[in-house]
Amino acid sequence: MEIIILETDRQPQNNQEPTGEPRTRKRSSLNNNEDRISTLPNVLLHHILSFVDAVQVVQTCVLSKRWMNVWKSHPYLDFNFETFSSLINSDYYDDEVNNFTDFIYHVLVRRHNLKAVKISLDILRDTRCSLVESLIYYAVKHHVEEISINTAHWDVPIVLPRCFFDCESLRSLKLKVDGGIALPKSLGLQSLKTLHLGGARNFDGKIFSSCPNLENLKIEDICLNTIENFNIHVLNLKSLEILNWRYSRIMRGCKVMLFAPKLTSFKFDGNTPLFWSEVNLTSLDDVNVVLQRYHHSHNYPFYVVEDEYISEEDETEQGLVLNLIKMLHEFCSAKSLTLSMNIIEILSEVPDALDKHPSPFSNLKYLKLKTDHKDVTLPAHVLNYFLTSSSFLKAQTHEAVKLFEGSSFHYQNACECLSSA
């Protein structure tokens, strides 16, 4: 932090005589060298410092006596390895990690015994389990409201300490561990409203129901290669994100049961559609689906539709389309639907499937396309698929499709399709 407030009063020169009139001087931070920031109360200083890393907060102790102990009562502890390593010179990576770990322990030991609002750890390297456990223990003891841990541990999954499940003050939790994190059968966090879970392995999802006030849930990079049924049963859930859903890490035929009657926003990003078991999404308004179309194996799993024959050569392609359609149909109450162009391409390859499974989006008002390309083509039969069920899209011809990120658009007989819809 750099504070420069300088301007001295001009003194009369030796060959000048004083005028005899009193000189009026305004009290100003500029002509009195006043450090106005240091006069602020601690609560405001802590708010300012909440935007910087812990190592930068500690460095303020050299500014003046006023700042010597400010960091010891700072309630926002953000430990970022990249920031720390940029401030020290070391030829060995292990030394940087060890110094970073020692720094965290020194801060925790020397900090005043006061409430902590947020504790954050960000180090995308192999981290000691003891460090994560110590941070969580400290957070619980000091009634923290927000915990964010983004790290890696490759030997064995990180296990949460028992005291963590008794944290009544916790409102926001991010646990993202490359290499895996072992989850219990129940979290029991009564005050938790926001949960971001990444890297968890082979859990059935029932832990979510143990957080009765959970409103925002993000699931990322999870591995379910031994789980047949994945449950998300949260009565007060409003926003759900399932990201990086990869078929190589999901058991073949794994089905998702989603019961969230208050859910209004859903986002999905993966390379294989979700297999629904049971869904209750009566309040859903906004849906965002991105399908990363990579190389699907010949044994790609697909729904068996009664009285519908799929030839062996079409098994992978048509099976993917049927899975995608069945996934999208569960969002029938959505008013806004955002789709990646990969989805449009997949739907356009099997037009017969669209005819056999008509669009259920009767409430749809906005259809948005997400693409990185400047030139976009939407086949007429795909556009018609969404138009046939939505009276709003029929009436609003020019607003039937809203472009995402300002890409250009080719209708491909869309006008004829709109007029006949």
Residues in the chain: 421
**Taking residues 152-181, what's their average pLDDT?**
84
If pLDDT is split at 50, 70 and 90, which confidence band does 266 have? very high
The amino acid at 387: L
- The mean-pLDDT minimum among 32-41, 342-351, 372-381 falls in 372-381
- Is the model's pLDDT at 398 over the cut of 60? no
- Is the model's pLDDT at 32 over the cut of 80? no
- Is the model's pLDDT at 143 over the cut of 70? yes
The amino acid at 159: V
* pTM of the entire predicted model: 0.80
- Is the model's pLDDT at 304 over the cut of 50? no
Tell me the Ramachandran region of residue 121: left when phi exceeds 0, alpha when psi lies from -120 to 50, beta otherwise. Answer: beta
- The mean-pLDDT minimum among 70-79, 92-101, 303-312 falls in 303-312
| Domain boundaries along the sequence of the chain | 40-182, 285-298+320-407
Average pLDDT, the chain: 79
If pLDDT is split at 50, 70 and 90, which confidence band does 338 have? very high
* pLDDT above 70: percentage of residues in the chain: 76
Q: Which has more confidence, 92 or 376?
A: 376
If pLDDT is split at 50, 70 and 90, which confidence band does 52 have? very high
**Taking residues 382-387, what's their average pLDDT?**
82
What is the rounded CA–CA span in Å between residue 385 and residue 369? 15
**Taking residues 190-196, what's their average pLDDT?**
95
Q: What is the dihedral of CA 270, 275, 281, 287, to 10 degrees?
A: 20
pLDDT tens across 59-77, in order?
999 999 999 999 999 999 9
